Amino acid sequence: MFIRFLMRRLIYVIPLVFITTLVVFSFILLIPGDPAIALLGQSATPEKIAQLNAQLGLDKPVIIQYFDWLKNAIQGDLGRSIYTGKPVNEAVFSRLFITMQLVLFSMLIAIIGGGLFAIGSIYFPNSILDKIFRFFGVVGGTIPNFWLAALLVLFFSLKLGWAPATGFTSIPDSPVLFLKSTLLPATALGAAGIAQVSRHLRSSFIEVMDMDYIRTAYSKGLHRAIVVFRHGLQNALLPVVTTIGILFSNLLGSTVVIETFFAIPGMGQLAVNSILQRDFTMLQGVVLVMIVMVIVINFIIDILYSVIDPKIES
């Protein structure tokens, strides 16, 4: 059963990745401006522009450009940057490690914060805490992350001086400096995730706490904490597993704004710089890697959910 379920998911994933490459390649070509002119300047002669386009392969028909690019991408070669001439792979994967640290830290904040909000809301129903948690669960998802980032920098960085306003230190270099440099951007990035996890987990909790086995646990005289954490939480977490895949996609996409705001040299900032420099080869690599990562993560979440709850395989 599991093998059949896995094969069904692969049948969906493989064509999706192929369509993704086609869409990424097609949309990147719609970026205004000639890359050759952007590199050589407006005063460049037509002969030099034609020569550079030939070197970059831009003089070929679009369909030929696509299949050449796809063949190289399958082999792990995303081409060379039009702006710097360096391999796209090196820039993308060096920045990817930075972005993944930020995204995973933001997910940790979102999952822990959302879990605490949901559990507190269920444990103290109709109380002031419940209303506060529900309020933040609604408002947290509506606040723009760049606006929250500005507030965090204004208060915690400029006023209190507790954390730097810009910059990034990787975990291998210094875990302490990583926490200090990433806490503000990760909080700004993960705030919407806190609201998202809180709402989904609370809804799942409400449904689980109304089950017969929960009432049976209460009738046996078990303490409320044991019923909520041992019997309720375990089953309420199952639907939230799918939320993690959605959360990852949202956070990865939002890094473009947050990394630019906090001057973090990750994938988001690389994408912005590529657009400004009209470096469509680099932008193709960035967008392709980010989308494929989202597809793979969602595929893993589907498989994980099928392991946790085998009923969905049928």
pTM (2 decimals)? 0.78
pLDDT score, position 55: 67
pLDDT digits (tens, 9 = 90+) for 185-238: 998 888 888 888 888 788 777 777 777 777 777 777 777 777 777 767 767 777
pLDDT digits (tens, 9 = 90+) for 11-50: 777 788 888 888 877 766 666 666 666 666 667 777 777 7
Domain ranges for the chain, please list them. 2-74, 92-313
Q: Are 25 and 269 in contact (CB under 8 A)?
A: no
DSSP string, the chain: -HHHHHHHHHHHHHHHHHHHHHHHHHHHTTSSS-HHHHHH-TT--HHHHHHHHHHHTTTS-HHHHHHHHHHHHHTT---B-TTT-SBHHHHHHHHHHHHHHHHHHHHHHHHHHHHHHHHHHHHSTTSHHHHHHHHHHHHTTTS-HHHHHHHHIIIIIIIS-SS-SS----TTT-HHHHHHHHHHHHHHHHHHHHHHHHHHHHHHHHHHTTSHHHHHHHHTT--HHHIIIIIIHHHHHHHHHHHHHHHHHHHHHHHHHHHHHTT--SHHHHHHHHHHTT-HHHHHHHHHHHHHHHHHHHHHHHHHHHHH-GGGG-
Of 39-53, 84-98, 101-115, least confident by mean pLDDT is 39-53
pLDDT score, position 28: 63
Secondary structure letter of residue 163 according to DSSP: S
- Asked whether the CA dihedral 312, 117, 293, 173 is positive or negative, the reply is negative
- At the topology level, CATH places domain 92-313 in MetI-like fold (1.10.3720)
pLDDT score, position 101: 92
pLDDT score, position 278: 76
**Does 314 score more than 70 pLDDT?**
no
pLDDT digits (tens, 9 = 90+) for 227-279: 777 767 767 777 777 777 788 888 888 888 888 888 888 888 888 888 887 77
